[in-house]
Amino acid sequence: MSQNLHYVSKECSGFGWKKNVKNCTKALLNAREISAQEAKEEELFSSPAYEQYFQEDKTTRDANRGSLEHRTDIIEAAIQDFEKKRLSRHAFNEIFPAVE
């Protein structure tokens, strides 16, 4: 950390105070091992509240694409909607009677 602060002070020595603050902030954020945005995402996605309300969508995908994460209540509603549509589609079919 002391090397980062030394680098930042060296980087920002020749500017006015407004530009000095901006450049100092940029230099400090870029000198860290991970950026502020990555740290925020890591903090958010590893929290128990996120894990409680979100779950991974386990659908078949191309290997190059990642999985999607949705709120659990949205997934539950989609499953119930799908089951309701599937049952109503076969309600008047004699081969597959509707299950109540």
- Compute, in degrees rounded to 10, the torsion defined by CA atoms 16, 20, 21, 25: 170
Range of the domain at 30: 2-44
pLDDT in tens, 32-84: 566 666 666 665 565 555 555 555 555 555 555 555 566 677 777 877 887 77
So what's the pLDDT on residue 79?
77
Q: Is residue 64 part of a domain?
A: yes
Closest to 28 measured CA to CA, from 14, 47, 13, 8: 8
Going by pLDDT thresholds of 50, 70 and 90, the confidence category of residue 19 is confident
So what's the pLDDT on residue 74?
74
Q: The tokens of 26 are what? A: 């940029």
Task: Mark whether 9 and 38 lie in a shared domain.
Answer: yes
Q: How many angstroms separate the CA atoms of 52 and 71, rounded?
A: 9
pLDDT higher than threshold 60 for residue 9: yes
Instruction: Please give the tally of structural domains in the chain.
Output: 2
Q: What are the φ/ψ torsions at residue 59 (nearest 5 degrees)?
A: -100, 160
Task: Mark whether 54 and 81 lie in a shared domain.
Answer: yes
So what's the pLDDT on residue 62?
57
Task: Mark whether 57 and 33 lie in a shared domain.
Answer: no
So what's the pLDDT on residue 35?
62
Predicted TM-score of the model (pTM)? 0.25
